[in-house]
Amino acid sequence: MTGDRDSQSLQPSGGSERIVALGFSPDACSLLRRLQQSVRLAAVRWPSDRQPAATWLEQEWPLATAVLAVGACGLVTRLIAPLLRDKLRDPAVLVLDPAGRFVVPLLGGHAAGAERLGLELAALLDAQAVLSGSCHARGDLAL
């Protein structure tokens, strides 16, 4: 990732992607604000929103190409489980810790571009992308 991120928003390749973000605790607010300033987010669910996270995500899921969740991997896994269909239709799901130190591509590493987006977000936030896919571990090109 190159260029000045203060003057442009991060947008995945293709231009028609729809990134949504949500947080679960007050600790997530600072990072959500930072993401909102740096990434073209189509929708944000704040921890203080009255609508339950599961309901909000169920509404956003069909149109989202990427979901950025600020919180614990276990919480996000349970939240997305009922929404999962297949690797060609599900959005990329990335989990960020509230301090913005780690970006974990949880779902859609290759097909949905989660690993690529995770690396871009990590560079933007000065964070570490935690990539667990076997292609990345071997240094192979994902096909």
Question: For residue range 36-46, what is the model confidence (pLDDT) as tens digits?
Answer: 999 999 999 99
Mean pLDDT of the chain: 87
**Residue positions counted in the chain:** 143
Cβ contacts of 136 within 8 Å, gap of 6 or more: 109, 115, 142
Provide the β-strand partners of residue 39: 10
Q: How confident is the model over 56-75, as pLDDT tens digits?
A: 999 999 999 999 999 999 99
